[in-house]
Chains A and B, each alone.
Chain A
Amino acid sequence: MSTANPSFDEAPGRSRGHRLSVARAYLRSVPIGVQLATVVLIVFLIAAIAPGLLQTHDAYRTDLLSGLKAPSGSHLFGTDQSGRDVFSRVVAGTRQSLQIGLGATGVALVIGLLLGVAAGLGGRWTDGTVSRFIDVLFSFPTLFLALLLVSIFGAGITTTIVAVGVGTSPGYARMVRGQFITVRRAGYVEAARAVGHTRSRIVRQHIFPNAIRPLVAIFTLGVGQSIAFASGLAYLGLGVAPPSPEWGALLDAGRQYVTEAWWLELMPGAAIVLFALSVTVVGRHVQERLEGNVKVEDA
């Protein structure tokens, strides 16, 4: 975003050792909760990219003799009704779940941004029209919108991503619109006009970055929320179908055995919660850094 504006380059010629100590100092300033959440996210990432590194069993191999075993040393998260290792299945499901979480949030953001920016930056007529459209979308319950799409296009991972994305997009659109309208009226936008910058430069240099900034945290919150929504769809049998180990599908599959095998629900559920929580914690931290929440010092 800084192409139009040459900012001064950082002091050159810093040694590698110096950079390391800077990194260490930065690490020390990061709260322990954020560090933990980062480690958790890295583990999830490994599970998504190379599940084989973490899996203890084949996620799909059935072993009817050892069905519905409680968590133990040999099966960390227990086994399901077909004797499949739940831990390995949760690991195997990570990639799809993350795809759904990130993908659906991405879809929602794109739609939300398009609508929100049009309403927030457009004139009175554009704003009125787009806002009414957002209101119409809003009047459908989120899950209903998603269900509608699934029933039209059929269940599957792509439909799930699109369905959850569309379902959650009106919220984003409204937020984006509010942001742009607020920032448009900011004193620094008028100051930039007085300096003589063009409208497009002001939008690029002030309005866009400032309006978008709070959305970083919203995005991270949305990832967890999307996974939960997708799980809801899967739970209703309209998401990714079993035997896929997607977390929502796992929840759906375990539902019949919930009285005798609690781990079938708890383990994938815990994975969803843990992932959503970690993304949120890291996201909030990133946002705080970006907003420069610094203490006011007397000088």
Chain B
Amino acid sequence: MSDIEVIGAAAQDSGPLVRLEGLRVSFGRSVDDRRVVDGVSFELHRGRCLAIVGESGSGKSVTARTLVGLTGRRASLAVDRFEFAGRDVSRHGDRDWRKIRGRDIGFVSQDALVSLDQLRPVGKEIDEAARVHRVGGTKAERHARVVELLDQVGVPDPELKARQLPHELSGGQRQRALIASALALDPQLIIADEPTTALDVTVQAQVLELLEAARDRGKALIIISHDLAVVSRMADEVLVMRDGEVVERGVADEVFRNPQHEYTQRLLDAVPSAHSRGARLSPGEPSRISAVRAVPDPAVAPADPSVPLLEATGLVKSFRGPDRVVRTVVQDVSFALGVGETLGVVGESGSGKSTTARIALALETPDRGEVLLGGQPWSALSEKERRPRRNEISVIYQDPLSSFDPRWPVERIVEDSIGADVQGAAARRARVEELLDQVGLPRAFRRRRPLELSGGQRQRVAIARAIAPRPRVIVCDEPVSALDVSIQAQVLDLLGDLRDELGVSYLFISHDLGVVHHISDRVLVMSEGLAVEHGEADDVLLRPRHEYTKRLVAAVPRLRHEPVREARVA
């Protein structure tokens, strides 16, 4: 791309590409109003990768957007020094930033489906930067370049895909198309805000390789992520942010091997993995379940341990799509779940794991095969016959908010799933309070509505609802994937405590191998509707035998240095 003029061409090899000092951003009238970024400083050289990690609300995304002049109108911004390629950009307005964006700085945002124009072919989108900046020659040359870019980022059939609309591409292909558009003019700096968060692990691995390749070609890279493993693989330097402030900074290896700040330590501890099994992930006491549980649990009647609680044999399910094509989503899946056991189901999107969960819950009827609950027929029953036994199996969804009636306060949500065995308003109310205690929510939250709760609190309400009918099996469908690491740690700990105290079994569905390895006794790996591997968690995830499992396990980014865990016993 020699025809692209770069700014500050002479000065470019000496100093850092980006120099930022004392960045302060706030939303509100003045800089002191509601500060979301408070004093972020760093320098970034070419061929280096800087990672900004933190949980939601830490200000990491606002920082990233500020670096491309997209802070937004309602934000006030103050900075001591802000240079890009040796030029002062601290006073740049919209128009100046438009000249830089796309040409000198490429920006990859998190959600490709939202970021790409739904009504425009993907190729046009990628060509946009070249068109706006009037580079890249004739239409035919630019088209050739688009196809070449799509090919480079590993989108199959680039000629065809360039002509297709975003919704005709898969999630991974869309994200790669977005990266292609950021790379289109070969910018010196690429900023990627959670570039792989919505992606399956194998696709994530490909996207990360792409970004690494750009860095190796001498481009500077800024990665914003909540995923410490992704960061540890990519970054040379790390900024750890919390509440708008940088709490720790340093060379990535150092930070991960020997974190100085207590918050960084906690974040690292919170990452579930093979090594964290049997240990708690969050600081603090185990929940007070045993102390609270005065009422004996009738549901945990001494069950025959030789009979599996939940048993599925040869499940098959197909759906007819809107295009009238019948797709088999689940083909021949069998599993058995024992008393007090956790069976993890892993697989990428479209592997059929959620459909399997819905069949286990009898919300979907299998085309073939059968599910037994407690040794008795379950999927074969009519809904009417099933209803009295529905209290034996309950569910926790990924998105608790949409599973709550928006009109209801917490107490009503929880109370609604308490069984008919608790009679009378006072008794039911006491049971609600007991359940809130068990999931670690203050009783005062009874009157709150779901919208007034944080993500972690909502998931606790969902858990309270799930344990309310005293079930023997809880189906957890991606219960922690929407949560920050430290909140995820708390929720996983809570699920572990409940299993130990109430003796429930979990059918635990997740795409996150670390989470599954942490919580599961046995693991079922699904791919394209098939159960490809099934066995003890350590066997399957540490010594995978099936090709697909091997690829899956290899694709998972890992912390380069497993944090040293104090010997804590759950």
B-binding residues in A (CB < 8 A): 5-9, 186-188, 190-196, 198, 205-206, 209-210, 213, 290-292, 294, 296-299
Contact = CB atoms under 8 A, between A and B. Distances in A.
8 contacts: A5-B412, A5-B416, A186-B402, A194-B363, A195-B394, A196-B390, A292-B449, A298-B454
A196 B391 contact: yes
A296 B404 CA distance: 16
B24 interface: no
Nearest to B408: A188
Interface string B349-376: 0000000000001010000000000000
Contacts of B403: 187-188, 190-191
A196 B394 CA distance: 10
Contacts of B457: 299
Given A5-B416, A292-B451, 13 more contacts: A7-B415, A187-B399, A188-B403, A190-B363, A191-B395, A193-B363, A194-B363, A194-B393, A194-B395, A195-B391, A195-B417, A196-B387, A299-B454
Nearest to B412: A7
B469 interface: yes
Contacts of B404: 187-188, 191
A195 B416 contact: yes
Contacts of B428: 6
A196 B397 CA distance: 16
Interface residues on B, range: 35 or more
Contacts of B397: 187, 191
Contacts of B389: 196
Interface string B426-470: 001100000000000000010001011110010000000100010
Nearest to A2: B412
Contacts of A198: 387
A299 B453 contact: yes
B439 to A, nearest CB: 15
Contact of B425 (A9, A192, A205): A9
B416 A8 contact: no
Contacts of B104: none
Contacts of A187: 397, 399, 402-404
B363 A210 contact: no
A206 to B, nearest CB: 5
- State the 3 A-B residue pairs at the shortest beta-carbon distance, nearest first: A196-B390, A187-B402, A187-B403
Interface in B496-545: none
Contact of B406 (A195, A205, A210): A210
A234 to B, nearest CB: 40
A192 B416 contact: yes
A196 B405 CA distance: 16
A297 B402 CA distance: 19
B348 interface: no
A9 to B, nearest CB: 7
B451 A195 contact: no
A192 B389 CA distance: 14
A216 to B, nearest CB: 13
Contacts of B416: 5, 192, 195, 205
A8 B393 CA distance: 26
Given A6-B425, A191-B397, A294 B453 contact: no
Contact of A194 (B390, B425, B445, B454): B390
B421 to A, nearest CB: 13
Contacts of B429: 8
Nearest to B468: A195
Contacts of A299: 445, 452-454, 457
A210 B407 CA distance: 8
B55 to A, nearest CB: 13
